[in-house]
Structure 1
């Protein structure tokens, strides 16, 4: 009997995942974006370095998430809490939508070719890694612009804004740092794919443990127990993965921040990691973690649920 050839064609049903991923990304990103601004400022050292004539900005490292959120709103206005939202949406929405679509199809194709159509932890891991690397490569310049806008000095420093907006930021980076400037932190983004891989693996395992179908269920076709199971699996898997992988976020932010007085303090992943650890200890590698978790865990629940 002739063996049935593996079906490696793209499944059009995953366009539903593409649309769902994009829509969920818009909602979750916009709703939780102020926390992302707070997280980025806590991760960076620009807000506790000497500025000008001996003045020091000590706001970010000394305050907690809630107090820093209030201070930004009071001193810089509501718009600052959403500064960088545009490039974030330009990157996160296609990244999430493409990630959902690529992951769903890659998972099925790998299972057909290498595991007789059956899914496994290895299939989930490889599918997540491949889709994660592809999306990070495409969207890295937008993440750099987003980080620069979020770290742009507040009016209270007396230095004024460096960037007028997303396009101006991109032009200044290209002018002063060249194309490589838009790809700062890309190596860390590739390492960060491990978070994406771990999250998907945990999510798939938790769904199976809850007795939920391997296919991504939609709210309209799921029972309340399945829906809450998906919600819980999404939130818990993101909590675990984000906590484990968080230090790379701090290192990546330091690499992407604008140089002070034209001098770049952080030159590479290893040098940055060692410098942060030396100056702030291991706790410095978890700066802004609470704000990050407050944002990404509910965001994952919204996105997957």
Structure 2
């Protein structure tokens, strides 16, 4: 192991290409968002106070049974939306979602790669979990600030229902009209509702990336090191370090495990963010800040409401993260030249 480590540290790591990581993040985000959009619609509605009646309360005494009940509820709600609003309603908000996902993932991964390179240099060339943590936090702040208006519009569009009997009946005809009405009725600050909750959510992305980098290094890089240990010196010089199918499977699994753990630990910020972005009811803004919203939700609906839609969220974000990182790593691997000896 020591010889492998020495070889790794002797290689000069070139500065990552912003364009490559920008493109890889955008492509991965597009594929993941398009595939998992129906679960995004369900998750957003279950997080909202307008749809709380659609979800049974979380069963803390028997979490396995509770998760099973909620999974059935998610499937039932998918069917209800399809029957009452049509199949297209399951992809409601996909336009602004893609408009948001592509730049968001592109900005995030480009910033993360540059940050990791810079922080590693500041840390005397050592790529440690602290480097990953600062890189993820920097990328998260940049991404949340740039893309919050897009996510607000997406949330407003997904919370609408085409059923005239519901108080969430369609108010915005399209994303552009939503943007203009928010600006006219709520001002420029209205486009940044939920930004504080997004900053709170940096804990999730930071924890996810630190875990992912650790698992990737543990699973993928150690597998490569084990393969090299079986080769002669001549074979090592000519060996290709390209990922094998098993390496790609490890990457897929590492991304899923990292997202699953991070999402569960930090989930309440998702509910707070959705509530802060809801359309004001009768011109009244009910949720005005993180602390005020958390206290109000707890007082009116109980602690379980802070976990509303978590099953739908996990059913979406875990495969989405796995797809995203899989495509991201594939594009980066294909377009990045190998490190020089």
TM-score category (smaller protein): 0.7 to 0.9
Q: Is the 2:55–2:308 Cα contact (8 Å) retained in structure 1?
A: no
Q: Is 1:30 the equivalent of 2:38?
A: no
CA deviations on 1:12-63 (whole Å, 9 max, x unpaired) are 2x53332221111111101100100000110001135xxxxxxxxx445688
Q: Is the 2:46–2:54 Cα contact (8 Å) retained in structure 1?
A: no
Whole-Å Cα distance in 1 between the matches of residues 250 and 166 of structure 2?
50
Given candidates 131, 135, 140, the residue that maps to 2:143 is 135
Partner of 2:285: 264
Given candidates 212, 215, 224, the residue that maps to 2:245 is 224
CA deviations on 1:132-164 (whole Å, 9 max, x unpaired) are 100100000000000000111332416641000
How do 1:1-305 residues align onto structure 2 when only pairs under 5 Å count? Answer: 10-12=15-17, 14-47=18-51, 58-59=53-54, 64-113=73-122, 115-157=123-165, 160-212=169-221, 221-305=242-326
| Higher Rg | 2
Q: Is the 1:44–1:250 Cα contact (8 Å) retained in structure 2?
A: yes
Q: Is the 1:29–1:299 Cα contact (8 Å) retained in structure 2?
A: yes
- Corresponding pairs, count: 284
Q: Is the 1:60–1:68 Cα contact (8 Å) retained in structure 2?
A: no
Where has structure 1 moved over 3 Å in runs of 4 or more? Answer: 7-10, 58-63
Whole-Å Cα distance in 1 between the matches of residues 56 and 38 of structure 2?
17
**1:90 deviation in Å?**
1.1
Whole-Å Cα distance in 1 between the matches of residues 39 and 150 of structure 2?
19
Secondary structure of 1:197's partner? helix
**1:207 deviation in Å?**
1.3
**Structure 1 length as normaliser, TM-score?**
0.88
**Structure 2 length as normaliser, TM-score?**
0.79
Gaps of 5+ in 1: 1-6, 49-57, 214-219
Gaps of 5+ in 2: 1-11, 58-69, 223-240, 327-341
Q: 1:8/1:227 Cα in 2 relative to 1: closer, same or farther (>3 Å)?
A: closer
Whole-Å Cα distance in 1 between the matches of residues 83 and 199 of structure 2?
37
CA deviations on 1:225-257 (whole Å, 9 max, x unpaired) are 211111111000000001111100001101100
